[in-house]
Structure 1
Amino acid sequence: MAHWIDLETLHGPVRAWRADPAGPSHGAVIVLQEIFGANAHIRAVAERFAAAGFVALAPALYDPVAPGIELGYDEAGTQRGVALRNELGFDRAVDIVSAAAESLGEEGLRVGAVGFCWGGSVAFLANARLGLPAVSYYGARTLPFLDEPLRAPMMFHFGQADTSIPADAVEQHRHKQPRATIHVYAGAGHAFNREVDNHVYDPAAAETAWRRTIEFLEENLR
């Protein structure tokens, strides 16, 4: 059964939604939120990873600055999420991922990271700075960090119609990170995996990206 746990970090306790597989695990996945917090959608993604055979942990990254917050997908939620993202910053987010990885590693699990939107950029940094195999879904804020070398296998998912990550930005990923695997989904926009939001969800792209993500994790975490 999935439940909240407390994770000790350099920035105080952070809640994390933990979901465990019914049988033996294939490894552990740190699920990294969009700007809207570790909300019901992100918790459901963690539970889906558990159903696929992974221990999944989704830390509430905003807890050091706004404990317990979950935001809606409207304009007010977006503005608040941007403000909290900026207040927390990437360095503290990576510190929290590091604490989660250490906790899971103490259980003898190989650990990877999968992030969405802002969390997709955090996932890239978890690879470059912590050495975790990682998957980034439409991480629109990764460009300033692309000169940081990868330390583990890396996969990127982009929507071809994502205006926050235009074609030239995708090409910069290809150019600066030639070791990474990059997938671009025709017709899909930003947040195409967010099945709770019919304005952005693209079922075909989401299912293909999910299959590729699971294959990536099974290959790199076993």
Structure 2
Amino acid sequence: MQIELKAADGHRLNAYRAGPADAKRALVVVQEIFGVNRHMRHVCDAFAAEGYAVVCPALFDRVERGVELGYAAEDVARGRDLRAKVDEKDTMLDIEAAAAALPGTAARGIVGYCWGGTIAWWGATRSHSFKAACGWYGGGIAGTRTEKPACPVQLHFGEVDASIPMSDVELIRQAQPGVEIFVYQGAGHGFGCEERGSYKPADADVAQARTLAFFAKHL
């Protein structure tokens, strides 16, 4: 269902909520650069089916409300343009608002994909609202790899991701030896998205199983 959140600076944004209201574990799910679209709702519903309470904030509401893009070249270009207009500090205010909307007694984690994978990393390094953070193919993690996480982190990358070279993944490994990192051989960017040409169901299933095990351990 759609809900409205209010960030600390007064900004109001939409979010997708799923899962039981009395869940013991809860997640902020962070969008790709394509908005809270059908794929992101699918991701949320999958976690909800595992018993998680989930909130996925519409981070583009800061610049344009109701954004839901597909995965064609023009959608990628538009998504990148929108992302460039969103301030990192404002994004974290929206993430905190999403965390506050989760059940108060639940242990809270954060998981994100693409742009959201980087934001999930920031959820570990720039917030104290989460007990665990998981990022899938976050392209900005290498650039902020020296930030100190305040909770356990698990990261997933595709070996042949054109936007995240293995040299970046190695830099993250060197900077964060305590972070659990998985690389999927032959997988590209977005390998976990069922609506993209790069989708690899087997790798997506393994990554999801690892993600669920990670949260089961730390939340």
* TM-score normalised by L of structure 1: 0.94
Partner of 1:100 in structure 2? 98
- CA drift of 1:11 comes to 5.0
Cα-to-partner distance string for 1:138-180 (whole Å, 9 max, x where unaligned): 0011222111101100000001111211111010110111111
In structure 1, C-alpha distance between the alignment counterparts of 2:32 and 2:10, rounded to whole Å: 20
TM-superposition CA deviations, 1:116-142 (whole Å, max 9, x none): 000000000010011321100000112
Counterpart position of 1:115: 112
TM-score scaled by length of structure 2: 0.95
Deviation at 1:24, TM superposition (A): 5.7
Which structure 2 segments of 5+ residues have no match? none
* CA shift in 2, pair 1:11/1:142, >3 Å: farther
Name the CA distance, whole Å, in 2 between partners of 1:178 and 1:150.
Answer: 12
Amino acid at match of 2:61: D
Contact 1:26 1:218 in 2 (8 A): no
**Alignment-derived partner of residue 168 in structure 1:** 167
Contact 2:27-2:109 at 8 Å conserved across structures: yes
Corresponding letter in the other structure for 1:42: M
Cα distance in 1 for partners of 2:208, 2:87 equals: 28
1:218 pairs with 2:199: no
Q: Partner residue of 1:8?
A: 6
Query: What is the RMSD computed on CA atoms of the aligned residues?
Result: 1.3
Could you tell me how far apart the structure 1 residues matched to 2:44 and 2:87 are?
Answer: 23
Deviation per CA, 1:182-222: give whole Å up to 9, x if none.
0001111100000122x11001110000000001111111x
User: Does the alignment pair 1:90 with 2:88?
Assistant: yes
- 1:1-222 pair list within 5 angstroms: 3-9=1-7, 10=9, 12-21=11-20, 25-104=23-102, 107-131=104-128, 132=130, 133-197=132-196, 199-221=197-219
